[in-house]
Amino acid sequence: MKLEKILHIIITILLIIGLYGSGGLVWNEIETGNGCPKIWIIPACVIVMLCFLIPLIVHLLKKYNTIYFLFTGLALIIAIIASAMQFNGLGECPKHDSGIPMCYLSFVLFLILITLKTLLIKLIKQPKNENSNN
């Protein structure tokens, strides 16, 4: 299997995992009204869920990379700010069942998604050498 296809599958799986995790927070927010912190009046988990959903759609379409990076970049910025606030005791992120703040997990996940997509784009744009042994 070609590396491009493997990366595409990994990115898809990570986006689905993120969508599932953020979807759980959104559901908790709908049920309790207190599932995640707010950015202005919008629950942050709703924004983060959209930042998984929209990149998933454009990734599966295999186009609109700018939109992918816009939404994953926005979520990364949110995760950086939330993680810094959590770390410094200035805010409280929802916790995973294991006790890990979800903003830490979002930070790592979005950083990996951006890195993998960048690598995938570079591999796709790389000229194919017909005489190579790959």
Neighbouring residues of 82: CB distance < 8 A, sequence distance ≥ 6? 37, 44, 91, 93, 103, 106
pLDDT in tens, 90-134: 888 888 888 888 889 999 999 999 999 999 999 888 876 544 444
β-strands 38-39, 42-43 pairing? antiparallel
Domain membership flag for residue 132: no
The pLDDT assigned to 40 comes to 86
Domain-located, residue 43 = yes
pLDDT at 131: 45
Residue 129's pLDDT is: 59
pLDDT at 130: 47
Euclidean distance between CA atoms 39 and 30, whole angstroms: 16
- Residue 54 tokens, joined: 């929209």
What pLDDT, on a 0 to 100 scale, did the predictor assign at position 51? 95
Predicted local confidence at residue 128, as pLDDT = 67
Residues 6+ apart with CB under 8 A from 39: 47, 78
Q: Tally the domains of the chain.
A: 1
67: in domain? yes
Confidence of residue 67 (pLDDT cuts 50, 70, 90): very high
pLDDT, tens digit (0-9, with 9 covering 90-100), for 14-60: 999 999 988 888 888 888 877 788 888 888 889 999 999 999 999 99
Domain that holds residue 74: 3-125
Token pair belonging to 86: 């959590």
Whether residue 134 lies inside any domain: the answer is: no
User: Domain for residue 12, yes or no?
Assistant: yes
Whether residue 19 lies inside any domain: the answer is yes
